Amino acid sequence: MDSPHGAAVKAEDFGLKGPRGWVFRNIAIDAAPGSITAVEGPSGSGRTCLLLALTGRMKPTAGHAEVGGHRLPKKMAAVRRIAALGPVSGVNDLDQALTVAEQLREGALLQRRYEGPIRALLRPRGERRASAAARIEEALAVAGLDLATLPKGPRTSVRDLERLESVRLSVAIALLGDPRLLALDDLDLKLSDAERAEAWSLLRAIAARGTTVFAVCSEAPQDIPVVRTGTPARTPDAKPDSAPAAETDAKPETDAKPETSTKPDAKPDTNAKTETNTKGTDDALAEARRA
């Protein structure tokens, strides 16, 4: 059962197949409200696409999932209303030409216009500005981004932010809509060990407030349950012989079938398989951006 804020996330045999083969498949998830789940897997194995599918931004083609009581793929619009994306490269990148203050105001404006109730648009302009400022201040506090510590304060250019500061800014913008599910891509990319610890502390604080969190990473802390794309899943204290929740050797199904041959002694072309996997993911991401 859902908590008043966080969304339970369940999936069984969840998968997405594109024109070049499987992007991801055989994914099993059982995440409680207010929990953190890491998504791991090799490059091109569909980690980002899994996040987009779970947040209603990409239509799955196999199995089913349920987010906050809304079943996918039938209720994608309902899931989008309760799920927010943190940093996802190529989908919701920060605008490098803006200042931090401008990026926050733009995020608040878009959230109010597309996700907020219609009656909010009818309030006096001064009231709307005060409400947006309060939401921004609260989101920044939760994300742990103190504008006063930036080189030029709120006028600091987004392009001048450190990697962890960019993550915090993206998270703050995602939190403006008070989501029940928050999804982040490449959480620990280009972060030092100390910065990674800070990033995971941030996610734990968000989950402690009740929000369910999914984060793609290269390696999660040992106490964080993991869903793997393309390899066996790990749960805290899992035994080595425990059954995997995701398929360990999923291969893209394409007309070319680069990994097989009619010759008995033919060897798989692993380079071709990796390229096909990556292209399948790229195709799916392109569809998400067009949507």
Q: Is residue 18 very low, low, confident or very high in pLDDT (cuts 50, 70, 90)?
A: confident
User: What angle is formed at CA 190 by the lines to CA 220 and CA 24, rounded to 5 degrees?
Assistant: 55
Tokens encoding 158: 């987004």
The string over 19-31, giving b where at least 16 C-beta atoms fall within 10 Å of a residue's C-beta and e elsewhere, is: ebbbbbbbbbbeb
* pLDDT tens string 255-278: 333 333 333 444 444 444 444 455
How crowded is the C-beta side of 107, counted as CA atoms within 13 Å? Answer: 31
Alpha-carbon Rg of the chain, whole angstroms? 20
Selection from 221, 271, 224, 277 nearest residue 247 by Cα: 277
Q: How many residues does the chain have?
A: 291
Give the lowest-confidence range in 12-21, 78-87, 160-169, 241-250: 241-250
DSSP for 35-88? -EEEEE--TTSSHHHHHHHHTTSS---EEEEEETTEEETTTHHHHHHHEEE---
- The residue ranking higher by pLDDT, 127 or 174, is 174
Tokens encoding 208: 């402690």
| Cα dihedral 119/180/88/58 (nearest 10) | -80
Crossing angle of the two packed helices 125-143 and 163-175, in degrees rounded to 10: 130
Contact criterion met (CB below 8 Å) for 166 and 111: no
The string over 70-109, giving b where at least 16 C-beta atoms fall within 10 Å of a residue's C-beta and e elsewhere, is: bebbebbebbbbbbbbbbbeebbebeeeebbeebbbebbe
Residue 282: count of CB within 10 angstroms of its CB: 16
What is the reported pLDDT for 280? Answer: 53
Residue 113: count of CB within 10 angstroms of its CB: 10
pTM of the model: 0.76
d(CA 241, CA 250): 19
What is the reported pLDDT for 222? Answer: 95
Tokens encoding 215: 């984060």
- The residue ranking higher by pLDDT, 25 or 113, is 25
Cα 91 to Cα 220, 233, 236, distances in angstroms? 23, 26, 31
